[in-house]
A and B are shown apart, each in its own frame.
Chain A
Amino acid sequence: MKPAPFTHHLPGTVDEAAALLAAHAAEDARILAGGQSLVPTMAFRLARPAHLIDINGISGLDGIAQNADSMSIGALARHCDFHRPVDDGPLGALLAAVVRHIGHYPIRMRGTFCGSLAHADPASEWCLVAAALDARLTARSVRGEREIAASAFFEWAMTTALAEDELLVRAALPRLAPDTRWGFHEFARRAGDFALAMALALYRVEDGAIVEPRVGLGGVEAFPRRIPEAEAVLAGKAPGPDLFREAGAAVSDAADAMADSHASAEYRSEIAAVMVERALADAAR
C-alpha cells in the first residue's frame, strides 16, 4: 500500500512540463494534477510511474475564463472551484449541480476538471459533461498545441487521444443559450461512489417543441458519449413524460452496456433508461 519509488519533477512553466514529458515519456512519466486518482492507483501499485511531473507549481493554469462563446477551464481548476456557479447562466448552474456528485468534499478540494478528462474513468461526471457539451480540449507537447473534439478524445475506458508526451492544458465548454434547460441524474450505490449510470440532458423549447436536444450517457459504456438515437426521438416534439420514456428506451437500445462486478449489462442498461428519463424530466421543470 505504499507507492513505488519515482522521481518528482516540479516544473514552473507549461513548456518545462512538456519538455520533461518528452524527455521521460518512454520511462512512464505521468502528470500529477490533483492526485486523487493517480495516487490511489500508485498505492495499489497498479501504476508504477518512474517520473511524476507535478503541475501544481505552474502559475496561470488554475483559471476559469469566460470568453464570448466558451468557458475555458485551465488544467489546475479544481472540482471545488465549481461548487458555486462560475457564471449566472445555465452552464454555471449545471456545473455546480454536477460537481456535488464527484467523490467527496476533500477529494474535490484537490481533484481537477482536466485530470478527470485525462484519467477518463467511464463513470466520470466531468467526462460526461465534456462529451454531452462537445467540449474542445487543448493538448500541448514540445511539438506544439492541438485541439481535440471531445467526440474524438475519449477512446475507451481510461484511454484518451492524448499522446504519451502530451498534457491537457485546458478544456473549453460552449456557452449555453440563457433559455437552455438541463437535467442531470446518476445512480450510485453509496454517496461519493462512482455511478452505475448517469445522464445529462439539455435542450431548448421553441414554439412548444424541443430544439437542439443533447442526451449524454455516462458510466454505462466504456466512455461517455451523446446518444443520437435518443436525440432524434426528442427533436421537434413537445416535451412530456411519454416522450421522455421513449427517449430513455432509445438509450438502452442504443447503448452497449458494460458488465462488471457491480452490475450486469442488462441492469446498467435499465438504469440508464431511467436516468435519461429523469434527467429529461428535470430539464422540463
Chain B
Amino acid sequence: MTAPREVSFTVNGAAHTVRVEPRKTLADTIREDCGLTGTHLGCEHGVCGACTILLDGAPVRSCLMFAVQAEGAAIRTVEGLAEGDRLHPLQQAFIDRHALQCGFCTPGFLMLAAGVLEREPDIDEDGLREALASNLCRCTGYLNILDAVRDARAAMRAGPG
C-alpha cells in the first residue's frame, strides 16, 4: 500500500524502526526520521553523490533507494566515522590536506572513500581517481581530496596506531 509502513535497520550500529511511506527515499528517512543530517542532499537524482552512505558495506546513493528497501540493512553514515573524539583517518586527512571548503560535499566524499578503501584496500591510482570522480565538489578542485584519500589509504593500510 502507499500508506506508511514500518521498517527496521541499523544506522552506525544503533537500531532504528521508522514508519515511512514507500515513496520516501532512504536519504530523506536518514535525515528526517533518524535525525542524522550529516548525509546531504544535492541533486536528488543520483549525479552529485552528496547523499553517499554505506549500505551493508557498499557505497551507494541514498537518494536512489527507498527506505522500505533497507529492511534489515546495516547502514553507515558520516556520523559513524569517528570513534568518540578520535577521528577516522579519512577525516584527519581531509583536515590535514585542506580537502574541504564549504563542506557540503564532504560527508558524501568521506563515505565514498571509506567504502572504496574498505572494499579495495589495494586500489591503484587510476582506480582511485576513477572512483573519486563519482562525486561532485564545487569548491576544492578535487586535487586536495585526492591527496587526502591517498594519505588515508596509507594510514588505513598501516592499521590503527
Residues of A within 8 A of B (CB): 1-8, 10, 32, 35-36, 39-40, 42-44, 52, 54, 56, 80, 100, 104-107, 109-110, 191-192
Contact = CB atoms under 8 A, between A and B. Distances in A.
Nearest to A80: B58
Chain B interface mostly = mixed
Interface stretch (B62-70, B90-98, B153-161): B62-70
B22 interface: yes
A57 to B, nearest CB: 9
A106 B21 contact: no
Given A2-B23, A44-B45, A109-B58, A7 B112 contact: no
Contacts, number: 87
Interface in B117-140: 130-131, 133-135
Contacts of A6: 2, 22-23
Given A36-B46, A105-B134, A106-B134, A5 B65 contact: no
Nearest to A4: B23
B44 interface: yes
A44 B47 CA distance: 13
A105 B46 contact: no
B1 interface: yes
Nearest to A43: B45
A44 B63 CA distance: 12
A8 B68 contact: yes
Interface string B40-65: 00001110010010000011110111
A32 B66 CA distance: 11
A105 B23 contact: no
Interface string B61-100: 1011110110000000000000000000000000000000
B59 A105 contact: yes
Interface of B: 1-2, 5, 21-23, 25, 28, 44-46, 49, 52, 58-61, 63-66, 68-69, 112, 115-116, 130-131, 133-135
A106 B133 contact: no
Contacts of A7: 1-2, 22
B45 A106 contact: no
A52 B65 CA distance: 12
Contacts of B59: 105-106, 109
A192 B133 contact: yes
Nearest to A44: B45
A100 B5 CA distance: 37
A154 B35 CA distance: 45
B130 A8 contact: no
Given A8-B66, A54-B69, A192-B133, A107 B23 contact: no
A191 B23 contact: no
Contact of A110 (B21, B65, B133): B65
Contact of A35 (B22, B64, B131, B134): B64
Which of A7, A10, A40, A44 has the most CB atoms of chain B within a 10 A radius of its CB? A40
A53 to B, nearest CB: 12
A2 B26 CA distance: 12
Nearest to B61: A106
Given A5-B2, A192-B134, A109 B46 contact: no
A3 B22 CA distance: 10
A1 B44 CA distance: 7
- Identify which of A35, A52, A191 gathers the most chain B CB atoms within 10 Å of its CB: A35
A43 B68 CA distance: 16
A21 B58 CA distance: 29
A42 B63 CA distance: 11
Contact of B52 (A10, A42, A106, A192): A106
